[in-house]
Homo-oligomer: A and B are copies of this chain.
Amino acid sequence: MSKSRNLGEFEILVMAALIRLGDNAYGVTIRQEIENRAERAVTVGALYTTLARLEEKDFVASRMGEATPERGGRAKRYFEMTPKGRAHFERSVSSLGAMLKGLRPWPKTLRTSA
């Protein structure tokens, strides 16, 4: 049992993707979500390694998808955040938000909402 630390930058992106994807979050969709939204390259190794570590820390949980996906290919492993994971996620995001709040000049894409 390792000491609980803050989430890393990539871990935050992955956790955010889990929330966005809901019950459709598995390796391929998580990767697409981050590449498309964050406009940032994500290698498969980086993603699965990070997901495995988050699961070890009990920040996410996974379940294997149903068989017979109608078109070949290995079964999907779906991921979701645990309550513990969400608590850490919100703490990390709060810290970032507090430090970034009100900074100008600022890229428009950063503003989270009205």
What is the interface of chain A, defined by CB distance below 8 A to chain B?
Answer: 6-10, 12-13, 16-17, 19-20, 34, 37-40, 90, 92-103, 107, 109-114
The A interface is mostly helix, strand or loop, or mixed, namely helix
Residues of B within 8 A of A7 (CB): 9
A112 in contact with B114 (CB, 8 Å)? no
Copies in the complex: 2
Given A12-B99, A38-B96: 6 more A-B contacts, CB < 8 Å: A9-B92, A13-B95, A20-B103, A97-B112, A100-B112, A111-B112
A12 in contact with B112 (CB, 8 Å)? no
B97 in contact with A16 (CB, 8 Å)? no
A16 in contact with B112 (CB, 8 Å)? no
A94 in contact with B107 (CB, 8 Å)? yes
- A17, A100, A101: residue with the most chain B Cβ atoms closer than 10 Å: A100
